[in-house]
Structure formats: C-alpha cells, structure tokens
Chains A and B, each alone.
Chain A
C-alpha cells in the first residue's frame, strides 16, 4: 500500500515544485520528489540505484539549484 502513497507524493511534489513563486522553495520541494523516487527504487528491487538517487536527488541537485538561485535572482516574476 505504501508504494502507491509514494507514487502520489512523487507526482504531487513535481506539480507543487513548478507552482512556487519563490525559487528557493522550488529547490527544496524538488528534493522531496527525488527522495520519494529513491524510496520507489528500493521497492522496485534496485537498492544500489536507490542509494545513488537518495544522495544525488535529495541533496546534490537541490544544493546546485539553491547555489544558482543565490547567484541570480530569487523570485519568479
């Protein structure tokens, strides 16, 4: 049952990411999507892919986007 909840969180997180006006909030919410994809890899019998995706999708990609937002402009207008 929990795998269906994780799939719903993935799709809703992707939609909510693109609805944010603040780009720093968008970076953090995209990390939620990456982390839930890592959980889904664990359910789909791929634990090595899940380890890599948990590091890259939940920490490195939001950190890169946050650094780019800090160097440029924060609001989306």
Chain B
C-alpha cells in the first residue's frame, strides 16, 4: 500500500473537518449547519485517536500472561482514547442543546433559513 492506516485516517479526519466547515459557513439551512458541526467534532475525535495508533500494535488492555515490557512496547497510546470517550458524550449533549435552541428559533421566526431570520431578504 502507498499510505499506511494512520496517515489515511489523518487525511479522512481532515476531509471531515473541511466538509463540516463548508457546511457551517456556506449552507443556509440551520439544521444542516448543526450537522456540519457534528462532522467537525467527529473529525477532531478521529484525529486524536489516529495519533495514538501504532502499526501492528495491540489493544491497550493489560491481560494476565503478558509481560510489562512487551505490553509497553506494543500497545497503542491509551490517553487520547480515554479523553475522546468523554468528548463523544459531550458532543452529543451539546448537539441536543443546539437542536433545542433551533426549535425555539422556529417558534419565533417560522423558518429555518438563517438569511430570513436575519432579515436579509427584506432589503
């Protein structure tokens, strides 16, 4: 193969962040902007986990029968995995708060278009 799994995962996370930024900046519908923000969050989580990958390594769980030196030499880096586990749950809850705010905005403006909410179509 030309690229290994780690480099290809980093490129995938970069593509997810770019797609999410495009959606959050240029699209008009506010729910699609929120879907783009969730893509950015998935891309950042994937970046952090891919940094801790080791080619040909093992899952960082210490089982009985392993020696400590071989475990340290072969296991993937477990600190980003523990932090990303929290980050996924926080991302889901912030998404729920954003969607609740969208429901309040729809009750006030009766539209999902951000241009119509900001009143740019009256000019």
Interface residues of A (CB under 8 A from B): 3-4, 7, 10-11, 14-15, 17-18, 23, 26-27, 30, 33-34, 37, 40-41, 43-49, 52-53, 56-57, 60-61, 64-65, 67-69, 71-73, 76-77
Contacts and interface: CB of A to CB of B under 8 A. Distances in A.
A30 to B, nearest CB: 6
A52 B112 CA distance: 31
A68 B9 contact: no
A72 B19 contact: no
The B contact surface, by secondary structure, is helix
Given A45-B60, A76-B29, A68 B89 contact: no
15 contacts: A3-B5, A7-B9, A7-B11, A10-B12, A15-B19, A18-B19, A23-B32, A33-B39, A41-B49, A44-B76, A46-B49, A49-B49, A56-B88, A56-B92, A73-B112
B27 interface: yes
A27 B99 CA distance: 13
The A contact surface, by secondary structure, is helix
Q: Which of A3, A44, A52, A64 has the largest number of chain B CB atoms within 10 A? A: A44
A61 B19 contact: no
Nearest to A34: B42
Interface residues of B, number: 51
Nearest to B31: A23
B38 A60 contact: no
